[in-house]
Structure 1
């Protein structure tokens, strides 16, 4: 039986979890301790424009109901808000509140600090190589 700890999937997942643990600890230190790992993943898909819950569910690979529950929890923390779609009144979109944007800005600064920590451990050239490798398309549907 092959050891699973050296499989690419396991290595990628363990490194993702390493970053996520640091992000959540730093979020707590910056006053956002109520943010969960699931919320953090949701927030990664929010940007400058409101996004539909169905689209978020597709991006996250979970049910629309799961995204809606998560969005309600984040809205209760005043990090996101529901807004009507300009093109379809039946559709609700999700966007950051001002508090959510402040949290997002804080998270971006912390990601830079975590990347600096990684560069210190493995070297800036190795981090750049890693970034380049992970940026390449891995399948025919990616460009």
Structure 2
């Protein structure tokens, strides 16, 4: 193979973003947030998510997702609330501390995007964004 597979190149970029965001989050004082906890929290829907959905999206067992949600809850990043659509179920939603760390992560993500745009140029960055967005149609069952 003359050059790396596009999937590998996307993974390298995603790993870079994950590391930069983790460093920014830790520097902001949220050093108790483990990578596993962050990966589950990042999958929370705006109106909350069920543990089973988080497990499926993170590709982990329901038991593992439950343990991670317990850890997130103990650290005050999330809370569990009744699901308005099903009285028997509970939703996991971001708590105020979780929203605060989310703002730190979004700022770092925006900084990375600006750096990449400066490196690639606006036109190439737009093409990259369009191509990756189009690939979601065939790669992301949770889009």
TM-score range, shorter chain: 0.7 to 0.9
Q: How does 1:1-143 map to 2 (within 5 A)?
A: 2=1, 6-137=4-135, 138-139=137-138
Structure 2 residue ranges without an equivalent (≥5): none
Q: TM-score normalized by structure 2?
A: 0.86
Question: 1:82-137: CA deviations, max 9, x gaps?
Answer: 11223333322100001111111221111111111212222222221111100004
Mapped to 2, the partners of 1:44 and 1:6 lie a distance apart of 28
Higher RCO (Cα < 8 Å, 6 or more apart): 2
Mapped to 2, the partners of 1:54 and 1:133 lie a distance apart of 31
Count of residue pairs the alignment pairs up? 141
CA RMSD of aligned residues (A): 2.2
Distance 1:50 1:122, change over 3 A: same
Mapped to 2, the partners of 1:19 and 1:140 lie a distance apart of 19
How far off its partner does 1:45 sit?
A: 1.7
